[in-house]
């Protein structure tokens, strides 16, 4: 925050560096109401140091504080309230945004890697709305990591191994029909899976059969393996269409099965380090403050946790990430705590760099969606419907739009992504098609619309981007200047807290502020402020576009500004 940095510099100097610039910076606040000032400095810390009343200190600071960045100063109790010199800082920030463009707020490269484990749907099951959360949060985090100077490794830890494949193989052998599966693979496989659970409730022998089938799969049984490969390929094809629509790519699809030939070594390492305990035929690692972590079952079969411990070791060797984010629902919190503690017990200090980025569940009618009970909403269906709605809206409102298909896709998909990201990720989310489809209010389409609106203004005003000294922007623009100034620290905070919702909410605030400004200001009127107003609008559009990009959402403009930026 450029403004805060300048104010902190001036205050620290006035104080003869009793507090460093950084200490002052960290104390600075934003007054609750804007008519009280732009920046507030509370004097409690200084009062303690100097054993004086904070009000006296505040007045002393007021007397001595001088800076070209400060317009005026008022004291309110223990606070020094500062009004910033709007023209100087407005000009400065505007020039900074216009020079740096999409690089505004970007940090220099750290040369270090952040690994993100996200999306990770399960083979032979449809891509659910639940997996959407991991996908869009992870995708946005990957952009935030890059913006903060990290190289990113995007990993899709596909659920392609585990006892459910035993169930599926048995179900297919008993009731499956090849031709049906070839036509609609995931739908038919899901049917088989649901049917298996209904039948297994009546006949427990089926569960034993499924366990045996999975064991055979683990031992490389030809028939089981062929079926498994087929299920996997068909499922991946279907996931790929969704990723394409969302504009998402991965660096690796190393799913659970990838670790099959790597687990034995990890199990023996655990053995060598005397961490394994025999418990009713199974091997577990005893842990502090939580239930033990199951490593192998009675029959020697490995588990989800075994694969995650192995994956963490493999990734550490292969990529040496500075940090790893696991973007997975909070119902798996215990699982990750267990995996992390096992790694710590193995003596790996880097286990502290692993972080479970948990998120709330997608609920339907107040309860969890479950594949087993068939109570599930398919992302593919929701996406298709959102795009259709976007298209209908356009036909009504903007029949002359050029690339209608493309824009409908960008708006429909944007609506869904934004709806997910604007909420604090730890909260549960009630699935509501209606809310997602709402193209007004706190939505992605509203931000997209504001961006396109500015693009049109710039086109009409024939704006040519250039750095310049600008005229005064006026009162109406000031809250927006302050918002632009906050963008770099927002980028940093959203990454530190692994929280894209801050970017989403910021973009809403910026869009709303701009629309308010536009309602009061005639931008296109031919006066000598026109270029400044256009430059200002362009700066806002650059930051809006960058917010959308960070969220993984397209910014359609249908005009020349795209080529200019
Ligand atoms: N496939 C799992 C699921 O759908 C998520 C995997 C998350 N990543 C991991 N490394 N465990 O529940």
Residue 562 has pLDDT above 50, yes or no: no
> In the beta sheet, which residues pair with residue 364?
367
Checking if the pLDDT of 169 tops 50, the result is yes
User: Is it the case that residue 561 has pLDDT exceeding 50?
Assistant: no
> Where in the sequence of the chain do the CATH 3.40.50.620 domains occur?
113-368
What are the beta bridge partners of residue 117? 155, 326
Q: Flag the least confident range among 151-165, 460-474, 493-507.
A: 460-474
Residue of 118, 157, 325, 376 with the most ligand 1 atoms within 8 Å of its CB, for mutation:
157
Kindly report, as residue ranges, where domains of CATH 1.10.730.10 are found in the chain.
Answer: 379-564
The whole-number average pLDDT for the span 259-280 is 96
- Write the pLDDT tens digit of every residue in 283-295: 999 999 999 999 9
**pLDDT at residue 451 greater than cutoff 70:** yes
Mean pLDDT over 104-131 rounds to 93
- Provide the 10 A C-beta neighbour count for residue 158: 23
* Ligand 1, atom 9: closest residue by C-alpha: 157
**CATH T-level topology, domain 113-368:** Rossmann fold (3.40.50)
Residue 492: predicted pLDDT: 97
455 Cα to the center of ligand 1, angstroms: 41
Please list the residue range(s) of the chain that carry CATH number 3.30.1360.70: 2-84
Nearest Cα to 79, choosing from 30, 34, 18, 17? Answer: 30
Q: What does the angle CA 438 – CA 417 – CA 424 come to, to the nearest 5 degrees?
A: 95
Q: Which of 124, 159, 361 to mutate to test the pocket of ligand 1 (most atoms within 8 A of CB)?
A: 159
**Closest ligand 1 atom, residue 130 Cα:** 4
Bridge partners, 325 (sequence order): 116, 355
Q: Whose CA is nearest to atom 11 of ligand 1?
A: 308
410: number of Cβ within 10 Å: 22
Q: Give me the mean pLDDT over the 164-172 stretch.
A: 94
Where does the pLDDT of residue 374 fall: very low under 50, low under 70, confident under 90, or very high at 90 and above?
Answer: low
- Per-residue pLDDT tens digits for 12-64: 999 999 999 999 999 999 999 989 999 999 999 999 999 999 999 999 999 99
According to CATH, what is the number of the domain 379-564?
1.10.730.10
Tokens of 274: 């005397």
Per-residue pLDDT tens over the stretch 172-212: 999 999 999 888 888 899 999 999 999 999 999 999 999 99
Say whether pLDDT at 264 is over 80.
Answer: yes
Kindly state the percentage of the chain with pLDDT values over 90. 76
Asked if residues 98 and 538 have their Cβ atoms less than 8 Å apart, the reply is yes
HEC readout, 361-410: CEEECCEECECCCCECCEHHHHHHHHHHHHHHHHHHHCCCCCCHHHHHHH
pLDDT at 563 > cutoff 60: no
pLDDT, mean over the chain? 91
pLDDT digits (tens, 9 = 90+) for 292-312: 999 999 988 889 999 999 999
Tens of pLDDT, residues 502-541: 999 999 999 999 999 999 999 998 888 889 999 999 999 9
Cβ distance 163 to 210 under 8 Å?
yes
Q: Which of 147-156, 355-364, 386-395, 530-539 has the lowest mean pLDDT?
A: 386-395
Confidence class of residue 398 from pLDDT cuts 50, 70 and 90?
Answer: low
Which range scores top for mean pLDDT: 159-163, 166-170, 218-222, 363-367? Answer: 166-170
| Residue nearest ligand 1's atom 6 by CA | 120
Is the pLDDT assigned to residue 402 strictly greater than 90?
Answer: no
Q: Which of 109-118, 221-230, 397-406, 553-562 has the lowest mean pLDDT?
A: 553-562
For a substitution probing ligand 1, which of 160, 314, 328 has the most ligand atoms within 8 Å of its CB? 328
Q: Is the pLDDT of residue 373 over 60?
A: no
Residue nearest to atom 5 of ligand 1 (CA): 120
- The fold adopted by the segment(s) 2-84 is Gyrase A; domain 2 (3.30.1360)
- Residue to probe by mutation, ligand 1, list 127, 332, 368, most atoms within 8 Å of CB: 332
Parallel, antiparallel, or unpaired for β 323-329 and 113-117? parallel
- Edge to edge, what strands does the sheet with 39-42 contain? 39-42, 79-84, 70-76
Q: Is the pLDDT reported for residue 565 higher than 70?
A: no
Which residue matches tokens 């029909």? Answer: 177
Can you tell me which atom of ligand 1 is nearest the CA of 159? 1
Rounded to the nearest angstrom, the distance between the alpha carbon of 1 and the centre of ligand 1 is 38
Spacing, Cα 255 to ligand 1 middle (Å)? 9
Ligand 1: lining residues by beta carbon, under 6 Å: 117, 120, 122, 157, 159, 308, 326, 328
Residue among 132, 138, 148 nearest 356 (CA) = 138
Q: Which atom of ligand 1 is nearest to the CA of 332?
A: 12
Q: How far does residue 103's CA lie from ligand 1's centre (Å)?
A: 33
Return d(Cα 136, Cα 426) in angstroms, integer: 14
Pocket test for ligand 1, best of 118, 120, 305 (most atoms within 8 A of CB): 120
The alpha carbon of 288 and the centre of ligand 1 are apart by a number of angstroms equal to 24
* CA of 157 relative to ligand 1 center, distance in Å: 6
Cα four-point dihedral sign 422, 423, 426, 429: negative
How far apart are alpha carbons 284 and 306 in whole angstroms? 10
- The Å distance, Cα 499 to ligand 1 centre, comes to 20
Given this model, what pLDDT does residue 186 score?
A: 87
| Average pLDDT value for residue range 491-504 | 97
Ligand 1 atom 8: residue of nearest CA:
157
Confidence at residue 564, expressed as pLDDT on a 0 to 100 scale: 30
**For position 559, what pLDDT does the model report?**
35
- Helix, strand, coil % over all residues of the chain, rounded to 5: 60, 10, 30
């Amino acid at each position: 925050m450029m403004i805060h940095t300048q104010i902190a510099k001036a205050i620290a100097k006035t104080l003869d560096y009793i507090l460093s610039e950084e200490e002052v910076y960290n104390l600075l606040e934003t007054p609750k109401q804007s008519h009280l000032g732009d920046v507030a400095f509370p004097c409690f810390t200084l009062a303690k140091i100097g054993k004086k009343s904070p009000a006296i200190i505040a007045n002393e600071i007021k007397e001595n504080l001088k800076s070209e960045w400060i317009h005026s100063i008022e004291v309110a109790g223990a606070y020094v309230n500062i009004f910033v010199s709007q023209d100087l800082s407005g000009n400065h920030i505007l020039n900074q945004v216009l020079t740096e463009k999409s690089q505004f707020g970007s940090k220099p490269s750290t040369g270090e890697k952040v690994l993100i484990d996200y999306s990770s749907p399960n083979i032979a099951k449809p891509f659910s709305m639940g997996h959407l959360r991991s996908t869009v949060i992870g995708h946005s985090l990957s952009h935030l990591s890059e913006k903060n100077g990290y190289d990113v490794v995007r990993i899709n830890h596909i659920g392609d191994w585990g006892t459910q494949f035993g169930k599926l193989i048995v179900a297919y052998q008993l009731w499956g029909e090849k031709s049906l599966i070839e036509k609609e693979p995931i739908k038919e496989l899901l049917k088989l899976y649901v049917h298996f659970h209904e039948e297994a409730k009546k006949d427990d022998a089926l569960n034993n059969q499924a366990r045996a089938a999975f064991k055979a799969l683990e031992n490389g049984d030809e028939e089981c393996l062929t079926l498994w490969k087929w299920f996997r390929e068909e499922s991946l094809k279907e996931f790929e269409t969704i990723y394409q629509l969302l504009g998402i790519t991965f660096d690796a699809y190393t799913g659970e099965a990838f670790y099959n030939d790597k687990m034995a070594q990890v199990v023996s390492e655990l053995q060598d380090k005397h961490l394994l305990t025999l418990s009713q035929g199974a091997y577990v690692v005893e842990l502090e403050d939580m239930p033990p972590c199951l490593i192998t079952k009675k029959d020697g079969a490995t588990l989800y946790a075994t694969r995650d411990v192995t994956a963490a070791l493999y990734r550490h060797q292969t990529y040496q990430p500075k940090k790893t984010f696991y973007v997975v629902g909070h119902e798996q919190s215990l699982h990750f705590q267990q995996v992390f503690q096992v790694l710590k017990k193995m003596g790996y200090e880097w286990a502290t760099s692993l972080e479970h980025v948990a998120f709330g569940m997608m609920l339907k009618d107040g309860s969890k969606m479950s594949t087993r009970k068939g109570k599930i909403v398919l992302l593919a269906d929701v996406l298709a419907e959102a795009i259709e709605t976007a298209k209908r809206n356009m036909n009504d409102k903007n029949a002359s739009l050029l690339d209608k298909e493309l824009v409908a896709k960008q708006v429909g998909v944007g609506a869904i992504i934004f709806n997910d990201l604007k909420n604090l990720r730890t909260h549960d989310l009630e699935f509501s098609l209606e809310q997602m489809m709402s193209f007004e209010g706190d939505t992605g389409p509203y931000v997209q619309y504001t961006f396109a609106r500015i693009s049109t203004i710039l086109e009409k005003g024939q704006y040519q981007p250039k750095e310049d000294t600008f005229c005064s922007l006026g009162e109406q623009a000031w809250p927006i200047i302050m918002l632009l100034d906050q963008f770099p620290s927002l980028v940093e905070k959203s990454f530190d807290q692994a929280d894209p919702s801050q970017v989403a909410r910021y973009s809403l605030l910026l869009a709303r502020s701009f629309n308010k400004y536009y309602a009061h200001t005639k931008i296109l009127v031919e006066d000598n402020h026109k270029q400044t107003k256009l430059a200002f609008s362009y700066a806002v559009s650059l930051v809006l576009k960058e917010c959308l990009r960070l969220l993984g959402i397209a910014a359609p403009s249908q005009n020349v500004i795209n080529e200019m930026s």
